Structure 1
């Protein structure tokens, strides 16, 4: 696993930071989704880069009872979606950890 992003959380629930891999290096925001759907499958957050939505995130709870977000990033320029998890670190920052 590798850290591909770092974020801070504001009081309104928005995460602001950056995502960096060998192929991308962008500033990103994860913003709370509008409650347009009552579906349990609806994402909790939308991933926004340069005004375009490139992904979504769903709140999960680990076996250790730790809350995190499961993130899916996708864009026509990607050969395949990128899956990652957003975890809170001990210092209050949030790390986006890539998983295959």
Structure 2
């Protein structure tokens, strides 16, 4: 597992931080989605970079009863989608963890 991002959650529910890999280093925001009345599968958060949506996140609970967000990042410049999980650390910071 590799940490590819670090975020802070604001009182408004918006996560702000950075995503860093060998290919890119960007400032990103995870913003709450508009409540969907048409689909239970709609994401809870949208991942936005420079005003462009590049992904989405869904609220989940681990087997250890720990809440986290399952994140999917995708862009035409990527070879394929990136899947990661956003976990809150003990210090209140949130780490975006990628694994294959």
TM-score normalized by the length of structure 1: 0.97
Distance 1:38 1:85 in 2: 25
Distance 1:34 1:27 in 2: 22
Distance 2:95 2:37 in 1: 28
Distance 1:50 1:9 in 2: 18
Q: CA deviation at 1:38?
A: 3.7
Structure 2 residue runs of 5 or longer lacking an equivalent are none
1:55-76 CA-to-partner distances (Å, cap 9, x unmatched) read 0000000000000000000000
How many residue pairs end up in the alignment? 100
Structure 1 residue runs of 5 or longer lacking an equivalent are none
Q: CA deviation at 1:39?
A: 1.4
Matched residue, 1:82: 82
